[in-house]
Amino acid sequence: MKAYVFPGQGAQFVGMGQDLYDNSAAAKALFEQANEILGFNIKDMMFAGTAEELKQTKVTQPAIFLHSVILAKTLGDAFQPEAVAGHSLGEFSALVAAGAMSFEDGLKLVSQRAQAMQKACEMKPSTMAAVLGLEDAVVENICNEIDGVVVAANYNCPGQLVISGEVAAIEAACEKMKEAGARRALVLPVGGAFHSPLMEPAREELAAAIAATPFTAPSCPIYQNVTASAITDPETIKSNLIAQLTAPVRWTQTVKQMLEDGVSSFTEVGPGKVLQGLVKKVDRSIPTESAAI
């Protein structure tokens, strides 16, 4: 069984998507359409902007979504997924690629999500940190002992978990993680506490937009971040997508479940190779590749 996986924030790079634009008339039309939907020239920022411009959440999220979805669409008949999944933002790319919602609706939701998250970040100083070399349960227990908001946010692969929360709580947790034997506990250069309770204002804002967006059953099951299980029901997909903003990304659990369900190869659709690396950390023997036109 062949699975296609879609990356999230952090995979962006200057020049992303330029080859698609130059080599495919269909891709070119979709990039131009995206500029109209967003109301600014995201194409130029992706192809020739600065790394700083591309790092803004309101730019990063639509940019990665566009690269991933347009790449999937240019694959044509070669794109035949039997399962899909996406890491955080990548879940929106996966849903559009699998036909659960339209390109236009997906891009609008991603743009609204990015802006809502940016606003939530500005309400309270918050951040995230990567913890390497500890069991998930140890990280979770330490988070529970810390005063203030700090939670497990991204279960990326065995031995790599990202925590999210208030700045002081994250710093205190990092010290405790090191004392517990973490190889590293490193505060990340991000704008806020994604996938934590501090994203509640963004969740509320996005909930109304998702509820008003038409969804249909995807062409294959999507393994969603919140449950790490295969979903095809449109209403369940919607509720999981809303919950995703304040819930952890269960990527380790997702990959394990996909393997258990018979997935035999993973193709990453979008910028970079981050997800291929994470899949290999779960099971080194599984074939992985990047999608290419």
Rounded Cα gap, residues 18 and 13, in angstroms: 11
293/149: higher pLDDT: 149
Q: 115 and 170: one domain?
A: no
Q: Is residue 212 part of a domain?
A: yes
> Worst-scoring range by mean pLDDT, 54-63, 89-98, 240-249?
54-63
For every residue of 11-79, DSSP letters joined together read ---TTTTHHHHHH-HHHHHHHHHHHHHHTS-HHHHHHH--HHHHHSHHHHHHHHHHHHHHHHHHTGGG-
Q: 102 and 222: one domain?
A: yes
Task: Give strand pairing partners of 4.
Answer: 84, 267
Q: 55 and 137: one domain?
A: no
162 phi/psi in degrees, rounded to 5: -100, 130
Q: Is the pLDDT of residue 58 over 70?
A: yes
Q: 55 and 9: one domain?
A: yes
Residue pair 34/42 in contact (Cβ under 8 Å)? The answer is yes
CATH number at residue 237: 3.40.366.10
Which whole number is the average pLDDT over 65-82?
94
Q: Is residue 62 part of a domain?
A: yes
The arrangement of strands across the sheet holding 184-187 comes to 150-157, 160-166, 126-132, 184-187
Q: 45 and 153: one domain?
A: no
Q: Is residue 135 part of a domain?
A: yes
Q: 19 and 85: one domain?
A: yes
**Identity at 100, one-letter amino acid code:** A
Per residue in 190-228, pLDDT (tens digit) is 878 999 999 999 999 999 999 999 999 999 999 999 999
Residue 221 CA to its chain's centroid (Å): 17
Q: Is the pLDDT of residue 112 over 70?
A: yes
Per-position b or e across 100-120, b if 16+ CB within 10 A of its CB: bbebebbbbbbbbbbbbbbeb
Q: 83 and 136: one domain?
A: no
Is the CA virtual torsion 274, 225, 92, 45 positive or negative?
negative
Rounded Cα gap, residues 5 and 68, in angstroms: 10
What pLDDT does 129 receive?
Answer: 96
- HSE-CB at 160 with a 13 A cutoff on CA atoms is 12
Q: Is residue 35 part of a domain?
A: yes
Q: Is residue 92 part of a domain?
A: yes
Kindly tell me the burial class for residue 3, based on how many C-beta atoms sit within 10 Å of its own C-beta (0-12, 13-18, 19 or more): buried
What pLDDT does 100 receive?
Answer: 97
189/244: higher pLDDT: 244
> Worst-scoring range by mean pLDDT, 47-56, 131-140, 241-250?
47-56
> pLDDT-derived band of residue 9, with 50, 70 and 90 as boundaries?
confident
When divided into structural domains, the chain yields a total of: 2
Q: 18 and 28: one domain?
A: yes
Single out the residue in 136, 156, 187 at which a domain terminates: 187
What pLDDT does 67 receive?
Answer: 97
- Domain that residue 171 falls in: 123-187
CATH number at residue 170: 3.30.70.250
* Catalytically annotated residues: 88, 195
Single out the residue in 187, 205, 232 at which a domain terminates: 187
Q: 153 and 235: one domain?
A: no
Single out the residue in 131, 166, 187 at which a domain terminates: 187
> pLDDT-derived band of residue 285, with 50, 70 and 90 as boundaries?
very high
Q: Which residues contact 52 (CB under 8 A, 6 or more apart)?
A: none
Q: Is residue 192 part of a domain?
A: no
Q: 141 and 280: one domain?
A: no
Q: 100 and 133: one domain?
A: no
What pLDDT does 293 receive?
Answer: 63
Rounded Cα gap, residues 228 and 194, in angstroms: 18
Q: 161 and 275: one domain?
A: no
Rounded Cα gap, residues 69 and 30, in angstroms: 10
Q: Is the pLDDT of residue 62 over 80?
A: yes
